[in-house]
Amino acid sequence: AVDPKPLFSGLSDWWDAIYGNINTANMLLAKSPVILQAGQKQNTFLGEAYFMRGFLYFRLVNQYGGVPLKLTPSEGVEYEFTRATKQDVFAQVINDLTEAAKLLPPTTADGRISKATAWHFLAKAYLFRASEKHSDITESTDLTKAVEYGLKVINKEEGTNRQLANNYYDFWNYLDEGPNGAAEKNPEILLAAQFSNNPEKFDRLCNRTHLYYLPRYENNIAGMTRVIQYGRPYQRLRPTDYAYDVFDRVNDSRFWKSFRTLYISSNGGNGVDINGQTQAYVKGETPCIKIIINDKNDTRYTAQHAACTYPNYWLRYYTNAGGAQASTLAVTQFAGLDKYLDPHRTGNQNDINGVRDGYLARIGETYLIVAEAYGRGGSYGNAVQYINILRRRAGYAAGENRNPNANGTNPYFKGGTYYESTGVAAGTTTETKSQMEITEAAFDATSDAGIPYSIFGASSKAEKFIHFILNERSRELMGEFLRWEDLSRTKTLHARTIPFNLDNAATQLQADVSAGKFLLRPVPQTFLDQVRKNGQLLTAGEKAEWQNPGW
């Protein structure tokens, strides 16, 4: 079906919602001292309001640059606004988050915002202001401040209690536990959009991210049909080759704890094996789709595997009948992210209303913020220390099962992911944590994860460090809706998108990014069409002055 909305039309809804919530924060800041007596309750509410206003303006400045700064509640309809500079918006963000950190409690028991959350976003705001996109407004203390506030979170200062999870899968393991289980209560989570499994709230409160990362596992595939456990596949977000290759798929458990490469039969029926023999699938037991994310020039798979329907092989690389290397991966067939899978939806297999929380910030990112700030300041040894804490966690422990759901109870997930791709047997493994550690030499090497730094135009140690960090952020934060802001703030959107873009749009993208387009979002036309100056609607020229480059 064709989406009737024009490109980026959804941004106007987002813009309106952001400013609506800023207005709510402004009302709380104005009214709380009048309504509430001084004390912890007033401090908490004021702290939450400062946090929300700072957080929302941080989102706006990252997406749009300078925006109107509205710091008082609107008592009626307003039409006249001026666009603040990005320098002013960053200053407001930092001021609001600083006030929030002073007022918020160190711990909360109900998922509300705490000091550690404010510190995390303060560290992030300072780091972003020190990034390439904002080099014209960077202040000399930004990197030091990013480290300072990031370490407050990591070191659990002032009685805070957020900490890194022991296992990368702990906060994603929603499959057996469901809503409000241990995963959603994990102390690594700093900020989450909390959703309800109350059907009465679904028109307003539901999480639909479970739809977007899934392949069409049920699309005319022998042995498969759509089931609620494997989700309703919208197939909107498909991994690139970079997304697969940036991981060490032998030693780094984050790949296998993020991507699904094995589906158990959900329908029964028959398929034809590699020997041409008809075999019967057993629903809930027989491996049905094996997604092989192998390396180029792997010769283990042939045209016979590609034609096999017991199991169905989705092959990244195989040798076809003509002896050439080919692939069966396609728009509908790929290894999708399981991070948002929601088998606890209360409806049927076609239901779009998800009930699991959406994570907006976690301490895994805090470590990378601190590491990047250290590295940008030339303290590469300190950067390595915090990177390695995450990388050691990402490695397998001795005796750990390579299938993250091996001990689960649901038959569709108990098989976990599949390891034929690497040639490593499924089941328990020796430890790989030591193999995951890096040294400072990683920033002087010619490549990371087999991807040459030269592809991105990086030659100096400082440039390679930034690209290593961007790779590590991919490995740790894949699919967590942070990537565009990272590529925009580091001004690497062009360098890191085009080499992996298989579409014909790459040449146009290069021209657009060179002209400054895509490093900022377009200011919504619906807003510009209503803004007035001296009581008059803006002229075409005045609207153009408001608009971001390239739009």
Closest CA to 90 of 102, 82, 98: 98
Residue 204: phi, psi to the nearest 5?
A: -115, -35
- Supply the pLDDT for residue 272: 97
Query: What are the tokens at 208?
Result: 């639909």
- Supply the pLDDT for residue 5: 40
Query: What are the tokens at 314?
Result: 């989705």
Rg over CA atoms, the chain: 25
**Which H or E element spans position 314?**
strand 312-315
The answer to whether 449 and 248 are in contact (CB under 8 A) is yes
**Which H or E element spans position 363?**
helix 363-376
Measured in residues, the chain has a length of 551
- Measured in Å, how far apart are the chain's first and last C-alpha atoms? 27
At position 238, the amino acid (one-letter code) is: R
DSSP 8-state assignment for residue 191 = E
- Supply the pLDDT for residue 531: 95
Alpha helices in 155-309 (DSSP H): 241-245, 253-256, 303-307
- Supply the pLDDT for residue 329: 96
At position 501, the amino acid (one-letter code) is: N
- Supply the pLDDT for residue 8: 47
The answer to whether 188 and 165 are in contact (CB under 8 A) is yes
321 vs 2: CA distance, rounded Å: 37
Q: What is the residue-level pLDDT of the chain in tens, covering all 551 positions? A: 333 344 445 788 999 999 999 999 999 999 988 888 777 888 999 999 999 999 999 999 999 999 999 999 998 899 999 999 999 999 999 999 999 999 999 998 777 899 999 999 999 999 999 999 999 999 999 999 999 999 999 999 999 999 999 999 999 998 878 888 999 999 999 999 998 888 877 777 789 999 999 999 998 999 999 999 999 999 999 999 999 999 999 999 999 999 999 999 999 999 999 999 999 999 999 999 999 999 999 999 999 999 999 999 999 999 999 999 999 999 999 999 999 999 998 878 998 999 999 999 999 999 999 999 999 999 999 999 999 999 999 999 999 999 888 887 888 887 677 788 988 988 899 999 999 999 999 999 999 999 999 999 999 999 999 999 999 999 999 999 999 999 999 999 988 988 887 665 666 777 777 777 889 999 999 999 999 999 999 999 999 999 999 88
Tell me if the pTM is above 0.75: yes
Residue 503: phi, psi to the nearest 5?
A: -85, 165
- Supply the pLDDT for residue 503: 66
The secondary structure of 58-111 as a DSSP string is HHHHHHHSS-----S--SS------PPPHHHHHHHHHHHHHHHHHHS-S--SSS
Query: What are the tokens at 14?
Result: 């987002």
Cα atoms found within 13 Å of the Cα of residue 456, Cβ hemisphere only: 25
The secondary structure of 455-521 as a DSSP string is GGT--SHHHHHHHHHHHHHHHHHTTSS-HHHHHHHTT-HHHHHGGG--STTHHHHHHHHHTTTTSSP
